[in-house]
Structure 1
Amino acid sequence: MTPAGLITIPSELSAAETMNRLIAEVRAKGMTVFARIDHAAGAMAAGLTLRPTELLIFGNPKGGTPPMQTAQTMGIDLPLKALVWQDEAGKTWLSYNDPAWLARRHGIDGSLESTICLMAGALQAITAKAVSAA
């Protein structure tokens, strides 16, 4: 079962290639990559195992600031995040939070609908390119 507000799409590529393409697409859209966190490497350092699982934190203050001006608690969910992970069958997936769900979570009304729609559209375009072998 998919958690509420989470969009998960399949990738045609390996986890590493999906993440590399995600980073390239984020940068191509003029966004900043703030961090790339390799959870599997962290697990390994602790003597544990974890299938490939990497988190990318990225964004653009021009897009993220207006929602935070309306509801500062939005700062817990921004910058944007995307998780690239591999399931037990070896299939790669890319997951991210739905911006409309985040807006509802923080009580942001329709006054920022265009900003939230732009954020959602950018995420959809970026992630579609990141998971496609074409």
Structure 2
Amino acid sequence: MSTSASESFALPPHVVSLTSRVDFATTLARLEAAFQSRHITLFAKVDQAKAASDSGTTLRPTVLLLFGNPAAGTPIMAANPHAAVELPLKVVVWQDNAGLVHVDYSDVTQLLTRDYGIDRALFEKLAQIPAMLRSVVTE
């Protein structure tokens, strides 16, 4: 987990925050390339800073990506339809006031086991996502 020296925000225990070694645009491009190379579907890209600007307010650079693989997520939702609220997966890329870029994601494997009673065997592929995200921000 990380926070910049100039800012401190509450971070729930199931959310992981990684600091990228590269700028905002490069971090986003690397994430999208990682999804594509692993046949992960990018369902939506929400530019939250642009939405804020369009509404007359301001927000630091912030983009939310909704992504997943239906072959991996469908068995989870079949096992417990309520788990669909956690899927597709989400990652947010944001830049703090010091210019550091962060990649935040929810470790849904904790939630799926604890809160939805899903057998870990059903989300083996999801367990690979944190390593992929770490590789994107550290390369």
Q: TM-score, with normalisation over the residues of structure 1?
A: 0.89
> Cα RMSD between the aligned structures?
1.5
Structure 2: which 5+ residue stretches go unaligned? 1-9
Q: What amino acid is aligned across from residue 61 of structure 2 in structure 1?
A: P
Structure-to-structure mapping, 1:110-125, within 5 angstroms: 112-121=119-128, 123-125=129-131
> Between the two proteins, what is the percent identity of the paired residues?
35
SS of residue matched to 2:125: helix
1:82 maps to 91
CA distance in 1, matches of 2:49, 2:136: 20
Whole-Å Cα distance in 2 between the matches of residues 116 and 7 of structure 1?
18
CA distance, structure 1, for counterparts of residue 135 and residue 38 of structure 2 = 12
Report if aligned partners of 1:81, 1:96 keep a CA contact under 8 Å in 2.
Answer: yes
Equivalent AA in structure 1 for residue 125 of structure 2: L
The count of residues paired between Structure 1 and Structure 2 equals: 130
Unaligned runs of 5+ in 1: none
Deviation, structure 1 residue 70:
1.3
| Structure 1 residue runs of 4 or more that deviate by more than 6 Å after TM superposition | none
SS at match of 1:115: helix
Q: Deviations over 1:62-101 (max 9, x none)?
A: 1101111111111111011110011122111101110222
Separation in 2, partners of 1:93, 1:18: 9
Indicate yes or no: 2:41 matched with 1:21. Answer: no
Of 127, 130, 133, the residue aligned with 1:127 is: 133
Cα drift, residue 105 of structure 1: 5.0
**Higher helix proportion, which one?**
1
Helix, strand or coil: the match of 1:48?
coil
Aligned counterparts, 1:17-96, within 5 A: 17-96=26-105
For normalisation by structure 2, the TM-score amounts to: 0.86
